[in-house]
Structure 1
């Protein structure tokens, strides 16, 4: 049974999953990976969700405050053997619930054109494409999205 825990970026399971994520992104993004990596540091993230299946960490996600009313979803990852089973959707929903509990009004995120499965997940979860923001403005590979929370 899937178990989700709320934690911080100090969690060793989260850090191990992020290493796998970074390896995966490095392969997908190639030479562009260094550009994206500079925006994905995990030091001092206060809002992290780790998914477990029989005490094995299989996925993660996090958010950081983006503005006074918005959070930015970061570091979403599910191990390959567990993809397609709703794990990422469960992590994302838990992050959104947590953000709502903290009175945030919405979520933004950035993903890449080379991550079509992530784009599908976010579309199915109610995210809509927005103009690329901040450091992603003008970056052709970046896809920025937003969702209002209830």
Structure 2
């Protein structure tokens, strides 16, 4: 499958639809108090860059975001691919775009929080395959059985 990955505003109907699908997937997997979702309005903030994956006919099929935590740390947020494209490396392409943007901004440490349980095994595989390793809680996330935390040290961009 051919997809294009681009930085876009989350304030579009089709991107809102992706976020709604992501939320619907997450809601049954853990108690609401252990779900740390950003709204599309929060995703549109100056500290967050949203990537959208689109198929050959322009349909939004995935999304992910980079939220700046500090000058050297960023958090991967709102990763989602439609079930119809899973297994086609769309998530990997989104994560690579997020990582490259982070690197270009001088961010050297990526963090992420995600859920646990059988509904999240594909996400965990995506992150570990991309070089993320398990770690403990960060920021104000509580330590709970409902969250898994990952991190990845990334290098600086190559000098041409």
TM over 0.5: yes
CA offsets per residue over residues 34-70 of structure 1, 9 Å max, x none?
4414x42332344010001121110000011122211
Task: Measure, in 1, the Cα distance between the counterparts of 2:78 and 2:9.
Answer: 12
Q: What is the TM-score when the length of structure 2 is the normalising length?
A: 0.85
State which drifts further: 9-18 or 119-128.
9-18
SS at match of 2:143: coil
Q: Measured at CA, do residues 133 and 86 of structure 1 come closer, stay the same or move farther in structure 2, by a change above 3 Å?
A: same
SS at match of 1:107: strand
CA offsets per residue over residues 64-96 of structure 1, 9 Å max, x none?
112221110000000001101100000000011
SS at match of 1:135: coil
Q: Is the 8 A contact 1:72 1:108 kept in 2?
A: yes
Tell me which of 87, 94, 97 is aligned to 2:97.
Answer: 94
Task: Measure, in 1, the Cα distance between the counterparts of 2:123 and 2:86.
Answer: 11
- 1:51 and 2:47 correspond: no
- 1:121 and 2:120 correspond: no
Q: What is the TM-score when the length of structure 1 is the normalising length?
A: 0.90
Residue ranges of structure 1 left out of the alignment (5+ in a row) = none
Tell me which stretches of 4 or more aligned residues in structure 1 moved more than 6 Å.
Answer: none
State which drifts further: 84-93 or 45-54.
45-54
Q: What is the aligned partner in structure 1 of residue 35 from structure 2?
A: 36
SS at match of 2:35: helix
Task: Measure, in 2, the Cα distance between the counterparts of 1:100 and 1:8.
Answer: 21
Task: Measure, in 1, the Cα distance between the counterparts of 2:74 and 2:103.
Answer: 10
Q: Is the 8 A contact 1:49 1:61 kept in 2?
A: yes
Q: What is the aligned partner in structure 2 of residue 13 from structure 1?
A: 14
SS at match of 1:129: strand
Q: What is the aligned partner in structure 2 of residue 66 from structure 1?
A: 69
Residue ranges of structure 2 left out of the alignment (5+ in a row) = 156-160
- 1:105 and 2:108 correspond: yes
